[in-house]
Amino acid sequence: MDITRRAMTSASHSSPKPLSKIACNRLQKELVEWQVNPPAGFNLKPSDNLQRWVIDVNGAPGTLYANETYQLQVDFPEHYPMEAPQVIFVPPVPMHPHIYSNGHICLDILYDSWSPAMTVSSICISLLSMLSSSTAKQLPDDNDRYVKNCRNGRSPKETRWWFHDDKV
């Protein structure tokens, strides 16, 4: 899952398409489930926008990120859950070998390994696990180059990620 990649040259910067009926129903179901059984360490900020969720992430006790809070932004595409949501950290982002200073996250389940069976809760648990297993607070080796290539609001979903670090 290490972060060597090539940024794709095409960039689509159009506004998001409205959610399909299937996506709306699925998200409403996930929202109810979250309210009944929220994942430990996460707090969903109230909003009227079903297409964008903002979630506080609390670092797990006993980890490098204990007592720290970060914010995730989850944007749902028209055809969620058949298509993965875009998930980024809102700056200031955690210093982590798989999180870029622009908030983009190198985690395979957000891209190539996405499954419609996954939920926002399962994404959150995976991200907390990724943070918790880190042994060093550092930016990815190619942070500066990657961030420079992602100007103008480019989505992390437009990146060709190369996942080969299975330690984190």
Kindly list the strands in the beta sheet with 42-44, ordered across the sheet, starting from the edge strand earlier in the chain.
42-44, 52-58, 69-75, 86-90
Q: Where are the domains of the chain?
A: 21-151
What does the alpha-carbon distance between residue 32 and residue 168 come to, in Å, rounded to a whole number? 31
**Lowest-pLDDT range of 25-34, 118-127, 137-146:** 137-146
In tens, the pLDDT along 29-46 reads: 999 999 999 999 999 999
Label residue 153 by pLDDT band (50, 70, 90): low
Q: Fold for 21-151, please state it.
A: Ubiquitin Conjugating Enzyme (3.10.110)
Compute the average pLDDT of residues 58-63: 96
φ, ψ dihedrals at 108, nearest 5°: -55, -35
> What are the catalytic residues?
106
Question: Does the pLDDT at position 1 exceed 50?
Answer: no
- Predicted pLDDT at 142: 85
Give the pLDDT score at 112: 86
